[in-house]
């Protein structure tokens, strides 16, 4: 993919920072809740939300953990972004090639979220200080998050193709 690596001087992209990525995460979280809560309610009923049990069965694990994992990996693999990232015009790419992340990179990146959370979310805050705006999960997977330099709608120049 041409013009996606922000390291080259002619790039039309820049690394996406902490706050823009946090905004995308909020959008994604809302979408996940809008899909999973009605399913959980249909399967377990209202008592689920008042229970002290952290996991209430195999369906709970599938709905709250496995389905979001699969959806996220598929979005990263085929769109280079989740809906939240698409809404704010950022995308995840391989740090070396600028291509969409591979399936293995996507899985490592997702699991890296848990590593980034463990020490008081330091791995996410790392985006603030890193020169390429990479969180620990990005470093583990070899990915970066980029956005158009003009911060507007991405356009395609057909004369370059």
pLDDT (tens digit per residue) in 100-154: 999 999 999 999 999 999 989 999 999 999 999 999 999 999 999 999 987 655 4
**Cβ 17 vs Cβ 90: under 8 Å:** no
In this prediction, residues 67-81 reach a mean pLDDT of 96
> How many angstroms separate the Cα of 52 from the Cα of each of 47, 48, 56, 58, 65?
10, 9, 10, 17, 18
Tell me the pLDDT of the chain averaged across its residues.
89
In this prediction, residues 22-50 reach a mean pLDDT of 94
pLDDT for the residue numbered 89: 94
**Cβ 21 vs Cβ 127: under 8 Å:** yes
In this prediction, residues 44-59 reach a mean pLDDT of 86
The reply to whether the predicted model has a pTM over 0.95 is no
In this prediction, residues 71-83 reach a mean pLDDT of 96
- Residue 37 predicted with pLDDT over 70: yes
pLDDT for the residue numbered 160: 47
Q: Give the count of alpha carbons within 13 A of 140, CB side only.
A: 18
**Cβ 86 vs Cβ 21: under 8 Å:** no
| Phi, psi values for residue 84, rounded to 5° | -65, -45
125's enclosing H/E stretch is helix 122-129
């Amino acid at each position: 993919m041409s013009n996606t690596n922000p390291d080259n001087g002619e790039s039309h992209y820049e690394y996406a920072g902490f706050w823009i990525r946090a905004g995308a995460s909020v959008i994604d979280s809302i979408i996940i809740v809008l899909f999973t809560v009605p399913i959980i309610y249909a399967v377990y009923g209202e008592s689920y939300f008042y229970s002290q049990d952290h996991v209430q069965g195999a369906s709970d694990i599938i709905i709250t953990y496995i389905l979001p994992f699969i959806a996220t990996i598929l979005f990263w693999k085929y769109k280079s972004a989740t809906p939240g990232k698409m809404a704010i015009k950022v995308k995840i790419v391989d740090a070396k090639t600028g291509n969409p992340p591979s399936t293995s990179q996507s899985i490592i990146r997702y699991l890296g979220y848990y590593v980034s959370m463990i020490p008081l979310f330091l791995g996410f805050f790392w985006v603030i200080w890193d020169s390429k705006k990479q969180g620990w999960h990005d470093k583990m997977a070899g990915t970066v998050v980029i956005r158009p330099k003009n911060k507007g709608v991405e356009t395609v120049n057909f004369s370059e193709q």
